[in-house]
A and B are shown apart, each in its own frame.
Chain A
Amino acid sequence: MNNPSEKQLNDHLRRAVSAIPSNHAEELWNTPVEKADSDAWFLEGTEAKRKSTHSYFRWASLAAACFAIIFIGWFQVYRVADATVYLDVNPSVTLDINRLGKVISADADNEDGRIILDNMDLKGIDADVAMNALLGSMVKHGYLSQAQNTLLISVGGKNEARTTALRQKLSANAEQTLETLLGSGIILGQTVDLDDAAEDIAEHYGITPGKTALIIRLLKDQPEWNVQELAAMPMADLIRYCQAAGIDISQYLGEDGEVIGDLSSLLDDDDDHDGHDDDDHDDQDDSESGDDHDNHDDKDDFDDHDDKDDDHDDTDDFDEDDLTGTIPSHEEPDDDDRESGIIENHDDPDDKDDFDDSDDIDDENDSYEFDDDDEPDDD
């Protein structure tokens, strides 16, 4: 005989058990019983199961918790800024980037930035694409040109590796874009720590916290420099300003800062240091186009003293005499230097008061402190 099958075994067992009990239902019904309490010993274990009548609520709570976790996860990935990118040319724009590298918000830090961002919806697009759009807009509006081809990219974020990777990606992308649009470009890249104080200062001067961090580092070594003036400079001018003072700006970009492009190209026309027209071609561009790109921020522009010259000639722009006169090798600037036009803002007569104030600051050898004396006049 073969082994019995599973079904045969089950049938045997079922028949065996079914054959045993006699029907005692009648007898059991007639046996008197007392109604049990809920804590009766034989109900132990059923109580726990009875609690499961609340299982609907438990499942609902669990589902709500899962939904909350999913929502928080989604929110963290899509709606929370993982990094912040600060772009400074002279227009300053801040982009908040989520963990997927997409823009979740784009904000202008000054009026030029608002012009750049006008009607541009960057939300939800890749950070590098957004930056390309911004660079294109800056070229279109004249903020970036062959003479002003310098961009500061500062990235701050929670995760160091992701922040550095994002900055490198954006720097490389910006270099390509500027090369395509202008033939060449200079990219200054730096990683910055998000700092409330720097953000307050940045907001005060209408620049990004990224540029603020750079300026603060510069001012530590050059305390006589004027923060308002530095803040108002386009990046190319800031580099020229540093170069004229014999300062290598790349040393002030932080530990992992980088410079893409040839910084010396900014002063190529001034290599002879003769004080003559170093930027003829730039000036020509301006005059030909009838659009003085620098005038977007005329109040602090180096070119402002052209008005004083009243010769419509930028001969004196960025000449080393002026720069050295303004910053005499880390010596205290004297009143004559300030009157030379570097610090003075002839667009606004009120500026004179500012410089008077700054004199006071200089006297206190504390010109890099961000007090009311440095407030822009339009405040």
Chain B
Amino acid sequence: MLIFEAVVYEVPIQQAGIQLDESLFLRIAAEDKEAFCTLYESCSSTVFAYALSILRNRSDAEDAMQDTFLKIRSAAHLYKPQGKPMAWIFTITKNVCLMMIRKKVHIVQMPEEDAQTDLGLDQIENAEDRMTLEKAFTVLPKDTCQIIMLHAVSGMKHREIAELLNMPISTVLSKYNRGIKRLQSELEGML
């Protein structure tokens, strides 16, 4: 079994469009800073995109992303190589985001519509990029937005998204296609 795990660790895993070496988690657990920086550079954008698709707020998504990486540090020693490191990271990200939503609801009874109006996307310099992201957040249903973000930003395949979100792949495909058409329609003549 040890030999088997050693072999698994040496094989880089192509997951969610990001090539992650599962041995990074072992190294992080052993307080290897370089391994942590490598992991952060590899998938911080993807984690942020996923958090953004859930929270729909730039600032909250960035907090969630950072919190997720702290959690990864604290739980790296518990990671069991399964060939799906991104699924493990996304699960932590989702839990962190949901916890943030719960806390936010308790602290400020902010209407959802008001929350969605403050996307905090001003840092994005390219107007077309910002407009596309804003449209995605404002006109698309939440789950459709998640699917498109995971596919477009994280490079995940539809099958992987279906597995992550616990949806049939046919549902993922139809939601993705409907979402893209909706975006195309909304952004017609604007890009």
Enumerate chain A interface residues (CB-CB to B < 8 A). Answer: 1-6, 8-26, 28-29, 31, 33-36, 38, 40-46, 49-50, 52-53
Enumerate chain B interface residues (CB-CB to A < 8 A). Answer: 33, 36-37, 40-41, 44-45, 48-49, 52, 58, 61-62, 65-66, 69-71, 73-75, 77-78, 80, 82, 84, 87-88, 91-92, 94-96, 99, 121, 123-126, 128-133, 136, 148-149, 151-153, 180, 183-185, 187-191
| B189 cross-chain contacts in A, Cβ below 8 A | 1
Asked whether A42 lies within 8 Å of B80 as measured between CB atoms, the reply is: no
| A10 cross-chain contacts in B, Cβ below 8 A | 148, 151-152
CA distance A16 to B122 in the complex (A): 11
Known: A9-B152, A15-B129. A31 touches B95 (CB 8 A): no
CA distance A20 to B187 in the complex (A): 22
Partner of A49, one of B44, B87, B129: B87
| A25 cross-chain contacts in B, Cβ below 8 A | 36-37, 40-41, 44, 69
Asked whether A50 lies within 8 Å of B80 as measured between CB atoms, the reply is: yes
Partner of B148, one of A1, A2, A13, A16: A13
Shortest beta-carbon distance, A288 to chain B, in Å? 83
Asked whether A34 lies within 8 Å of B149 as measured between CB atoms, the reply is: no
Asked whether A49 lies within 8 Å of B152 as measured between CB atoms, the reply is: no
Asked whether B71 lies within 8 Å of A42 as measured between CB atoms, the reply is: yes
| A38 cross-chain contacts in B, Cβ below 8 A | 78
12 contacts between A and B (CB under 8 A): A3-B187, A12-B191, A16-B124, A16-B126, A16-B129, A20-B121, A23-B40, A24-B40, A24-B66, A25-B40, A25-B44, A42-B71
Asked whether A53 lies within 8 Å of B74 as measured between CB atoms, the reply is: no
Asked whether B132 lies within 8 Å of A13 as measured between CB atoms, the reply is: yes
Give the 4 A-B residue pairs with the shortest CB-CB distance, closest first: A12-B132, A10-B152, A16-B129, A25-B40
CA distance A88 to B41 in the complex (A): 87
| B95 cross-chain contacts in A, Cβ below 8 A | 41-45
Question: How many A-B contacts at CB < 8 Å in the complex?
Answer: 153
CA distance A6 to B43 in the complex (A): 23
Where chain A touches its partner, the secondary structure class is helix
Asked whether A15 lies within 8 Å of B185 as measured between CB atoms, the reply is: no
Asked whether B71 lies within 8 Å of A21 as measured between CB atoms, the reply is: no
Known: A20-B58, A42-B99. A29 touches B78 (CB 8 A): no
CA distance A238 to B74 in the complex (A): 93
Asked whether B66 lies within 8 Å of A43 as measured between CB atoms, the reply is: no
Asked whether B58 lies within 8 Å of A4 as measured between CB atoms, the reply is: no
CA distance A198 to B153 in the complex (A): 78
CA distance A28 to B39 in the complex (A): 12
Chain B residue with Cβ nearest A22: B62
Shortest beta-carbon distance, B17 to chain A, in Å? 10
Partner of B82, one of A35, A36, A40, A50: A50
Known: A15-B129, A17-B133, A45-B95. A4 touches B187 (CB 8 A): yes
Asked whether B45 lies within 8 Å of A13 as measured between CB atoms, the reply is: no
CA distance A33 to B72 in the complex (A): 10
Asked whether A41 lies within 8 Å of B123 as measured between CB atoms, the reply is: no
Chain B residue with Cβ nearest A3: B184
Asked whether A12 lies within 8 Å of B129 as measured between CB atoms, the reply is: yes
Asked whether A16 lies within 8 Å of B75 as measured between CB atoms, the reply is: no
CA distance A44 to B52 in the complex (A): 20
Asked whether B78 lies within 8 Å of A36 as measured between CB atoms, the reply is: yes
Shortest beta-carbon distance, B89 to chain A, in Å? 9
| A49 cross-chain contacts in B, Cβ below 8 A | 82, 84, 87-88, 91
Shortest beta-carbon distance, A176 to chain B, in Å? 58
CA distance A18 to B152 in the complex (A): 11
Asked whether B48 lies within 8 Å of A9 as measured between CB atoms, the reply is: no
| A34 cross-chain contacts in B, Cβ below 8 A | 74
